Structure 1
Amino acid sequence: MARPRNQAERRAQLIDATARTVVELGATATKLRDVARAAGVTPASVLYYYSDIQELFAAVFERSAATYFVSREEAIAAADGPVSRLRACIRSGVPWPGEGEESTRLLFELFPVALRNEGAADRQRAFANQQTELYRQVLELGQKSGDFTLAGDPWALGRSFVALEDGYAMDLLVGSATAQDIEDRLLDHARIVTGNPAFGCGD
Protein backbone atom coordinates (compact mmCIF):
# COMPACT_ATOMS: atom_id res chain seq x y z
CA MET A 1 0.00 0.00 0.00
CA ALA A 2 1.35 3.43 -0.92
CA ARG A 3 2.02 5.73 2.01
CA PRO A 4 -0.98 8.07 2.49
CA ARG A 5 -0.53 11.82 2.42
CA ASN A 6 -2.56 12.47 5.58
CA GLN A 7 -4.45 10.82 8.41
CA ALA A 8 -7.81 11.11 6.65
CA GLU A 9 -6.44 9.15 3.70
CA ARG A 10 -4.96 6.48 5.97
CA ARG A 11 -8.25 6.12 7.83
CA ALA A 12 -10.11 5.76 4.52
CA GLN A 13 -7.65 3.04 3.44
CA LEU A 14 -8.15 1.16 6.71
CA ILE A 15 -11.92 1.40 6.36
CA ASP A 16 -11.69 0.05 2.81
CA ALA A 17 -9.51 -2.84 3.96
CA THR A 18 -11.84 -3.62 6.85
CA ALA A 19 -14.92 -3.60 4.62
CA ARG A 20 -13.30 -6.03 2.19
CA THR A 21 -12.20 -8.31 5.01
CA VAL A 22 -15.60 -8.32 6.71
CA VAL A 23 -17.34 -9.25 3.45
CA GLU A 24 -14.80 -12.03 2.88
CA LEU A 25 -14.49 -13.47 6.40
CA GLY A 26 -17.48 -12.14 8.32
CA ALA A 27 -17.35 -9.69 11.21
CA THR A 28 -17.06 -12.35 13.91
CA ALA A 29 -14.02 -13.91 12.24
CA THR A 30 -12.27 -10.64 11.32
CA LYS A 31 -9.32 -9.84 13.58
CA LEU A 32 -7.10 -6.79 13.76
CA ARG A 33 -4.26 -8.69 12.11
CA ASP A 34 -6.54 -9.56 9.16
CA VAL A 35 -7.30 -5.88 8.60
CA ALA A 36 -3.62 -4.98 8.91
CA ARG A 37 -2.70 -7.64 6.37
CA ALA A 38 -5.36 -6.45 3.91
CA ALA A 39 -4.19 -2.85 4.33
CA GLY A 40 -0.52 -3.74 4.00
CA VAL A 41 0.41 -2.33 7.41
CA THR A 42 1.24 -3.64 10.88
CA PRO A 43 -1.41 -4.13 13.58
CA ALA A 44 0.32 -1.37 15.55
CA SER A 45 -0.25 1.01 12.64
CA VAL A 46 -3.97 0.22 12.70
CA LEU A 47 -4.11 0.91 16.44
CA TYR A 48 -2.53 4.31 15.87
CA TYR A 49 -5.74 5.37 14.13
CA TYR A 50 -8.36 3.20 15.87
CA SER A 51 -8.31 2.07 19.50
CA ASP A 52 -9.60 -1.41 18.70
CA ILE A 53 -11.39 -3.47 16.05
CA GLN A 54 -14.82 -2.45 17.38
CA GLU A 55 -14.08 1.23 16.78
CA LEU A 56 -12.94 0.38 13.27
CA PHE A 57 -16.10 -1.65 12.65
CA ALA A 58 -18.17 1.33 13.81
CA ALA A 59 -16.37 3.58 11.33
CA VAL A 60 -17.01 1.11 8.50
CA PHE A 61 -20.68 0.89 9.43
CA GLU A 62 -21.01 4.67 9.54
CA ARG A 63 -19.50 5.12 6.09
CA SER A 64 -21.45 2.25 4.56
CA ALA A 65 -24.73 3.46 6.04
CA ALA A 66 -24.13 6.99 4.78
CA THR A 67 -23.32 5.79 1.26
CA TYR A 68 -26.36 3.49 1.23
CA PHE A 69 -28.67 6.28 2.38
CA VAL A 70 -27.41 8.79 -0.18
CA SER A 71 -27.95 6.32 -3.02
CA ARG A 72 -31.55 5.81 -1.88
CA GLU A 73 -32.14 9.52 -1.56
CA GLU A 74 -30.85 10.13 -5.08
CA ALA A 75 -33.00 7.34 -6.55
CA ILE A 76 -36.14 8.80 -4.99
CA ALA A 77 -35.31 12.35 -6.07
CA ALA A 78 -34.92 11.19 -9.67
CA ALA A 79 -38.47 9.76 -9.73
CA ASP A 80 -41.54 11.81 -10.62
CA GLY A 81 -44.76 11.60 -8.63
CA PRO A 82 -45.74 9.67 -5.47
CA VAL A 83 -46.23 6.26 -7.11
CA SER A 84 -42.91 6.38 -8.94
CA ARG A 85 -41.15 7.71 -5.85
CA LEU A 86 -42.46 4.95 -3.63
CA ARG A 87 -41.44 2.39 -6.24
CA ALA A 88 -37.96 3.95 -6.31
CA CYS A 89 -37.79 3.95 -2.52
CA ILE A 90 -38.67 0.26 -2.46
CA ARG A 91 -36.36 -0.72 -5.29
CA SER A 92 -33.41 1.17 -3.81
CA GLY A 93 -33.77 -0.83 -0.60
CA VAL A 94 -33.66 -4.22 -2.31
CA PRO A 95 -30.27 -6.03 -2.19
CA TRP A 96 -29.92 -6.65 -5.92
CA PRO A 97 -27.03 -8.90 -7.04
CA GLY A 98 -23.68 -7.13 -7.16
CA GLU A 99 -22.99 -3.96 -5.25
CA GLY A 100 -26.43 -3.85 -3.63
CA GLU A 101 -26.16 -7.33 -2.14
CA GLU A 102 -22.56 -6.77 -1.04
CA SER A 103 -23.48 -3.49 0.65
CA THR A 104 -26.39 -5.14 2.46
CA ARG A 105 -24.23 -8.08 3.54
CA LEU A 106 -21.63 -5.69 4.97
CA LEU A 107 -24.24 -3.73 6.94
CA PHE A 108 -25.78 -6.93 8.30
CA GLU A 109 -22.37 -8.27 9.33
CA LEU A 110 -21.77 -5.08 11.29
CA PHE A 111 -25.19 -4.73 12.95
CA PRO A 112 -24.01 -6.59 16.11
CA VAL A 113 -21.42 -3.86 16.66
CA ALA A 114 -24.29 -1.64 17.80
CA LEU A 115 -24.82 -3.96 20.77
CA ARG A 116 -21.33 -3.26 22.11
CA ASN A 117 -20.47 0.22 20.89
CA GLU A 118 -22.53 3.22 21.99
CA GLY A 119 -21.49 5.31 19.01
CA ALA A 120 -22.44 2.52 16.61
CA ALA A 121 -25.78 2.11 18.38
CA ASP A 122 -26.51 5.80 17.91
CA ARG A 123 -25.60 5.52 14.23
CA GLN A 124 -27.80 2.47 13.78
CA ARG A 125 -30.79 4.28 15.29
CA ALA A 126 -30.13 7.30 13.10
CA PHE A 127 -29.78 5.09 10.04
CA ALA A 128 -33.15 3.43 10.66
CA ASN A 129 -34.76 6.82 11.26
CA GLN A 130 -33.26 8.29 8.08
CA GLN A 131 -34.70 5.50 5.98
CA THR A 132 -38.05 5.71 7.75
CA GLU A 133 -38.11 9.43 7.00
CA LEU A 134 -37.61 8.73 3.29
CA TYR A 135 -40.70 6.55 3.30
CA ARG A 136 -42.65 9.01 5.45
CA GLN A 137 -42.03 11.86 3.03
CA VAL A 138 -43.11 9.82 0.01
CA LEU A 139 -46.19 8.44 1.76
CA GLU A 140 -47.27 11.89 2.90
CA LEU A 141 -46.74 13.25 -0.60
CA GLY A 142 -49.06 10.60 -1.98
CA GLN A 143 -51.60 11.23 0.76
CA LYS A 144 -51.69 14.96 0.00
CA SER A 145 -51.97 14.38 -3.74
CA GLY A 146 -54.79 11.89 -3.30
CA ASP A 147 -52.81 9.03 -4.83
CA PHE A 148 -52.63 7.19 -1.50
CA THR A 149 -55.26 6.37 1.09
CA LEU A 150 -52.95 5.44 3.92
CA ALA A 151 -53.78 2.64 6.32
CA GLY A 152 -52.07 4.40 9.22
CA ASP A 153 -49.64 7.05 10.37
CA PRO A 154 -47.03 7.80 7.65
CA TRP A 155 -44.08 7.49 10.04
CA ALA A 156 -45.29 4.17 11.46
CA LEU A 157 -45.93 2.84 7.97
CA GLY A 158 -42.47 3.98 6.90
CA ARG A 159 -40.91 2.16 9.82
CA SER A 160 -42.80 -0.99 8.86
CA PHE A 161 -41.30 -0.79 5.37
CA VAL A 162 -37.79 -0.55 6.83
CA ALA A 163 -38.44 -3.47 9.17
CA LEU A 164 -39.72 -5.57 6.28
CA GLU A 165 -36.68 -4.66 4.21
CA ASP A 166 -34.40 -5.89 6.99
CA GLY A 167 -36.29 -9.14 7.46
CA TYR A 168 -36.53 -9.89 3.76
CA ALA A 169 -32.86 -9.03 3.25
CA MET A 170 -31.97 -11.69 5.78
CA ASP A 171 -34.09 -14.14 3.77
CA LEU A 172 -31.98 -13.31 0.74
CA LEU A 173 -28.67 -13.59 2.55
CA VAL A 174 -29.52 -17.09 3.82
CA GLY A 175 -30.80 -18.15 0.40
CA SER A 176 -34.56 -18.37 1.01
CA ALA A 177 -35.57 -15.45 -1.22
CA THR A 178 -34.36 -13.58 -4.29
CA ALA A 179 -34.09 -9.84 -4.79
CA GLN A 180 -37.11 -10.00 -7.09
CA ASP A 181 -39.09 -11.85 -4.40
CA ILE A 182 -38.30 -9.05 -1.98
CA GLU A 183 -39.34 -6.29 -4.36
CA ASP A 184 -42.60 -8.11 -5.13
CA ARG A 185 -43.40 -8.53 -1.43
CA LEU A 186 -42.68 -4.89 -0.68
CA LEU A 187 -44.78 -3.74 -3.62
CA ASP A 188 -47.63 -5.87 -2.35
CA HIS A 189 -47.24 -4.26 1.07
CA ALA A 190 -47.30 -0.85 -0.63
CA ARG A 191 -50.58 -1.73 -2.35
CA ILE A 192 -52.12 -2.70 0.98
CA VAL A 193 -50.99 0.34 2.99
CA THR A 194 -51.60 2.95 0.25
CA GLY A 195 -54.79 1.54 -1.24
CA ASN A 196 -53.31 2.08 -4.70
CA PRO A 197 -53.57 -0.89 -7.09
CA ALA A 198 -50.60 0.43 -9.11
CA PHE A 199 -48.33 -1.45 -6.70
CA GLY A 200 -49.51 -4.94 -7.62
CA CYS A 201 -46.69 -7.46 -8.04
CA GLY A 202 -45.30 -7.68 -11.54
CA ASP A 203 -46.72 -4.33 -12.63
Structure 2
Amino acid sequence: MARPRNQAERRAQLIDATARTVVELGATATKLRDVARAAGVTPASVLYYYADIQELFAAVFERSAATYFVSREEAIAAADGPVSRLRACIRSGVPWPGEGEESTRLLFELFPVALRNEGAADRQRTFAHQQAELYRQVLELGRDSGDFTLAGDAWALGRSFVALEDGYAMDLLVGDATAQDIEDRLLDHARVVTGNPAFGRGD
Protein backbone atom coordinates (compact mmCIF):
# COMPACT_ATOMS: atom_id res chain seq x y z
CA MET A 1 0.00 0.00 0.00
CA ALA A 2 1.37 3.43 -0.96
CA ARG A 3 1.97 5.79 1.94
CA PRO A 4 -1.08 8.07 2.33
CA ARG A 5 -0.78 11.83 2.40
CA ASN A 6 -2.89 12.29 5.54
CA GLN A 7 -4.80 10.51 8.28
CA ALA A 8 -8.13 10.73 6.44
CA GLU A 9 -6.65 8.90 3.48
CA ARG A 10 -5.13 6.23 5.73
CA ARG A 11 -8.45 5.70 7.49
CA ALA A 12 -10.19 5.35 4.13
CA GLN A 13 -7.63 2.76 3.04
CA LEU A 14 -8.14 0.78 6.24
CA ILE A 15 -11.91 0.91 5.79
CA ASP A 16 -11.53 -0.37 2.22
CA ALA A 17 -9.29 -3.20 3.37
CA THR A 18 -11.68 -4.14 6.17
CA ALA A 19 -14.69 -4.16 3.84
CA ARG A 20 -12.91 -6.47 1.39
CA THR A 21 -11.83 -8.78 4.20
CA VAL A 22 -15.28 -8.95 5.80
CA VAL A 23 -16.89 -9.85 2.47
CA GLU A 24 -14.25 -12.53 1.91
CA LEU A 25 -14.00 -14.05 5.42
CA GLY A 26 -17.08 -12.85 7.26
CA ALA A 27 -17.11 -10.48 10.21
CA THR A 28 -16.86 -13.22 12.85
CA ALA A 29 -13.69 -14.62 11.25
CA THR A 30 -12.01 -11.29 10.47
CA LYS A 31 -9.16 -10.46 12.82
CA LEU A 32 -7.03 -7.37 13.14
CA ARG A 33 -4.09 -9.15 11.51
CA ASP A 34 -6.27 -9.98 8.48
CA VAL A 35 -7.12 -6.32 8.00
CA ALA A 36 -3.50 -5.30 8.45
CA ARG A 37 -2.42 -7.86 5.86
CA ALA A 38 -5.03 -6.70 3.35
CA ALA A 39 -4.01 -3.06 3.92
CA GLY A 40 -0.29 -3.83 3.68
CA VAL A 41 0.50 -2.47 7.14
CA THR A 42 1.26 -3.83 10.61
CA PRO A 43 -1.46 -4.46 13.21
CA ALA A 44 0.11 -1.71 15.30
CA SER A 45 -0.43 0.72 12.43
CA VAL A 46 -4.12 -0.17 12.34
CA LEU A 47 -4.41 0.41 16.09
CA TYR A 48 -2.93 3.88 15.67
CA TYR A 49 -6.13 4.87 13.84
CA TYR A 50 -8.73 2.59 15.46
CA ALA A 51 -8.87 1.40 19.07
CA ASP A 52 -9.88 -2.14 18.10
CA ILE A 53 -11.49 -4.21 15.36
CA GLN A 54 -15.00 -3.37 16.59
CA GLU A 55 -14.38 0.35 16.14
CA LEU A 56 -13.11 -0.35 12.63
CA PHE A 57 -16.17 -2.47 11.86
CA ALA A 58 -18.37 0.41 13.03
CA ALA A 59 -16.56 2.79 10.67
CA VAL A 60 -17.05 0.38 7.76
CA PHE A 61 -20.73 0.05 8.58
CA GLU A 62 -21.18 3.82 8.75
CA ARG A 63 -19.58 4.39 5.35
CA SER A 64 -21.39 1.48 3.72
CA ALA A 65 -24.76 2.58 5.09
CA ALA A 66 -24.21 6.16 3.93
CA THR A 67 -23.23 5.05 0.42
CA TYR A 68 -26.21 2.69 0.21
CA PHE A 69 -28.63 5.39 1.33
CA VAL A 70 -27.33 7.99 -1.14
CA SER A 71 -27.72 5.54 -4.03
CA ARG A 72 -31.35 5.01 -3.04
CA GLU A 73 -32.01 8.73 -2.81
CA GLU A 74 -30.59 9.25 -6.29
CA ALA A 75 -32.64 6.41 -7.80
CA ILE A 76 -35.87 7.81 -6.36
CA ALA A 77 -35.08 11.38 -7.40
CA ALA A 78 -34.54 10.23 -10.99
CA ALA A 79 -38.04 8.74 -11.18
CA ASP A 80 -41.12 10.75 -12.16
CA GLY A 81 -44.43 10.44 -10.34
CA PRO A 82 -45.51 8.49 -7.24
CA VAL A 83 -45.84 5.07 -8.88
CA SER A 84 -42.45 5.28 -10.59
CA ARG A 85 -40.85 6.64 -7.42
CA LEU A 86 -42.20 3.83 -5.26
CA ARG A 87 -41.02 1.31 -7.84
CA ALA A 88 -37.58 2.95 -7.78
CA CYS A 89 -37.55 2.91 -3.98
CA ILE A 90 -38.35 -0.80 -3.98
CA ARG A 91 -35.90 -1.70 -6.74
CA SER A 92 -33.06 0.24 -5.12
CA GLY A 93 -33.49 -1.80 -1.94
CA VAL A 94 -33.21 -5.17 -3.69
CA PRO A 95 -29.79 -6.90 -3.49
CA TRP A 96 -29.32 -7.47 -7.21
CA PRO A 97 -26.36 -9.66 -8.28
CA GLY A 98 -23.03 -7.83 -8.27
CA GLU A 99 -22.47 -4.64 -6.33
CA GLY A 100 -25.96 -4.63 -4.80
CA GLU A 101 -25.67 -8.11 -3.34
CA GLU A 102 -22.10 -7.49 -2.17
CA SER A 103 -23.01 -4.27 -0.35
CA THR A 104 -26.01 -5.97 1.28
CA ARG A 105 -23.85 -8.89 2.37
CA LEU A 106 -21.34 -6.49 3.90
CA LEU A 107 -24.04 -4.64 5.85
CA PHE A 108 -25.56 -7.88 7.12
CA GLU A 109 -22.15 -9.16 8.20
CA LEU A 110 -21.71 -6.01 10.25
CA PHE A 111 -25.22 -5.71 11.77
CA PRO A 112 -24.18 -7.62 14.94
CA VAL A 113 -21.63 -4.89 15.66
CA ALA A 114 -24.59 -2.70 16.65
CA LEU A 115 -25.28 -5.05 19.55
CA ARG A 116 -21.86 -4.34 21.05
CA ASN A 117 -20.99 -0.83 19.93
CA GLU A 118 -23.22 2.11 20.87
CA GLY A 119 -21.91 4.23 18.01
CA ALA A 120 -22.78 1.48 15.54
CA ALA A 121 -26.18 0.99 17.20
CA ASP A 122 -26.94 4.69 16.76
CA ARG A 123 -25.88 4.51 13.11
CA GLN A 124 -28.08 1.46 12.55
CA ARG A 125 -31.11 3.25 14.04
CA THR A 126 -30.43 6.26 11.84
CA PHE A 127 -29.96 4.04 8.79
CA ALA A 128 -33.29 2.28 9.29
CA HIS A 129 -35.11 5.57 9.91
CA GLN A 130 -33.57 7.22 6.85
CA GLN A 131 -34.81 4.43 4.61
CA ALA A 132 -38.26 4.42 6.18
CA GLU A 133 -38.37 8.17 5.61
CA LEU A 134 -37.72 7.67 1.89
CA TYR A 135 -40.74 5.39 1.72
CA ARG A 136 -42.83 7.78 3.82
CA GLN A 137 -42.15 10.67 1.47
CA VAL A 138 -43.06 8.65 -1.62
CA LEU A 139 -46.18 7.17 -0.03
CA GLU A 140 -47.43 10.59 1.09
CA LEU A 141 -46.71 11.99 -2.36
CA GLY A 142 -48.94 9.31 -3.87
CA ARG A 143 -51.61 9.83 -1.23
CA ASP A 144 -51.69 13.59 -1.80
CA SER A 145 -51.83 13.17 -5.59
CA GLY A 146 -54.69 10.67 -5.33
CA ASP A 147 -52.62 7.81 -6.80
CA PHE A 148 -52.51 5.89 -3.51
CA THR A 149 -55.14 5.00 -0.94
CA LEU A 150 -52.88 4.10 1.96
CA ALA A 151 -53.75 1.20 4.23
CA GLY A 152 -52.26 2.96 7.25
CA ASP A 153 -49.89 5.63 8.51
CA ALA A 154 -47.26 6.45 5.90
CA TRP A 155 -44.35 6.27 8.35
CA ALA A 156 -45.44 2.89 9.73
CA LEU A 157 -45.92 1.55 6.21
CA GLY A 158 -42.48 2.82 5.24
CA ARG A 159 -40.90 1.10 8.21
CA SER A 160 -42.67 -2.12 7.29
CA PHE A 161 -41.18 -1.94 3.79
CA VAL A 162 -37.69 -1.66 5.31
CA ALA A 163 -38.35 -4.59 7.64
CA LEU A 164 -39.54 -6.69 4.71
CA GLU A 165 -36.44 -5.75 2.72
CA ASP A 166 -34.22 -6.93 5.56
CA GLY A 167 -36.05 -10.21 5.98
CA TYR A 168 -36.15 -10.96 2.27
CA ALA A 169 -32.48 -10.00 1.88
CA MET A 170 -31.60 -12.64 4.46
CA ASP A 171 -33.59 -15.15 2.40
CA LEU A 172 -31.43 -14.27 -0.59
CA LEU A 173 -28.15 -14.45 1.31
CA VAL A 174 -28.92 -17.96 2.55
CA GLY A 175 -30.09 -19.09 -0.89
CA ASP A 176 -33.84 -19.17 -0.26
CA ALA A 177 -34.84 -16.41 -2.72
CA THR A 178 -33.60 -14.52 -5.76
CA ALA A 179 -33.42 -10.76 -6.22
CA GLN A 180 -36.37 -10.99 -8.61
CA ASP A 181 -38.38 -12.90 -5.99
CA ILE A 182 -37.74 -10.08 -3.54
CA GLU A 183 -38.80 -7.35 -5.94
CA ASP A 184 -41.97 -9.27 -6.81
CA ARG A 185 -42.89 -9.72 -3.15
CA LEU A 186 -42.32 -6.06 -2.38
CA LEU A 187 -44.41 -5.04 -5.39
CA ASP A 188 -47.20 -7.27 -4.08
CA HIS A 189 -46.91 -5.47 -0.74
CA ALA A 190 -46.99 -2.10 -2.52
CA ARG A 191 -50.20 -3.05 -4.31
CA VAL A 192 -51.86 -3.98 -1.02
CA VAL A 193 -50.79 -0.95 1.02
CA THR A 194 -51.39 1.64 -1.73
CA GLY A 195 -54.54 0.21 -3.30
CA ASN A 196 -52.95 0.85 -6.70
CA PRO A 197 -53.07 -2.05 -9.20
CA ALA A 198 -50.20 -0.50 -11.18
CA PHE A 199 -47.74 -2.41 -9.02
CA GLY A 200 -47.85 -5.55 -11.10
CA ARG A 201 -44.94 -7.91 -11.33
CA GLY A 202 -42.72 -7.06 -14.26
CA ASP A 203 -45.00 -4.24 -15.46
Q: Identify whether the pair has TM-score above 0.5, normalized to the shorter chain.
A: yes
Q: What is the SS of the residue equivalent to 1:199?
A: coil
Counterpart of 2:109 in structure 1 is 109
Between 193-202 and 132-141, report the one with greater CA deviation: 193-202
**Could you tell me how far apart the structure 2 residues matched to 1:149 and 1:169 are?**
27
Counterpart of 1:16 in structure 2 is 16
What runs of 5+ residues in structure 1 fail to find an aligned partner?
none
Q: How many residue pairs are counted as aligned between the two chains?
A: 203
Deviation at 1:143, TM superposition (A): 0.1
Deviation at 1:201, TM superposition (A): 1.7
**Could you tell me how far apart the structure 1 residues matched to 2:194 and 2:183 are?**
16
**Could you tell me how far apart the structure 2 residues matched to 1:114 and 1:177 are?**
26
Deviation at 1:78, TM superposition (A): 0.2
**Could you tell me how far apart the structure 1 residues matched to 2:21 and 2:45 are?**
17
**Could you tell me how far apart the structure 2 residues matched to 1:154 and 1:25 are?**
39
What is the TM-score with the length of structure 2 in the denominator?
1.00
**Could you tell me how far apart the structure 2 residues matched to 1:47 and 1:79 are?**
44
Deviation at 1:200, TM superposition (A): 1.8
Q: What is the SS of the residue equivalent to 1:97?
A: coil
Counterpart of 1:97 in structure 2 is 97
What is the TM-score with the length of structure 1 in the denominator?
1.00
**Could you tell me how far apart the structure 1 residues matched to 2:202 and 2:6 are?**
50
Over residues 52-100 of structure 1, what are the superposed CA-to-partner deviations in whole Å (9 max), with x where a residue is unaligned?
0000000000000000000000000000000000000000000000000
Over residues 93-127 of structure 1, what are the superposed CA-to-partner deviations in whole Å (9 max), with x where a residue is unaligned?
00000000000000000000000000000000000
Deviation at 1:202, TM superposition (A): 2.4
Deviation at 1:26, TM superposition (A): 0.1
**Could you tell me how far apart the structure 2 residues matched to 1:163 and 1:84 are?**
21
**Could you tell me how far apart the structure 2 residues matched to 1:63 and 1:76 are?**
20
Deviation at 1:42, TM superposition (A): 0.1
Deviation at 1:145, TM superposition (A): 0.1
Q: What is the SS of the residue equivalent to 2:198?
A: helix
State the identity as a percent: 95
Over residues 152-192 of structure 1, what are the superposed CA-to-partner deviations in whole Å (9 max), with x where a residue is unaligned?
00000000000000000000000000000000000000000
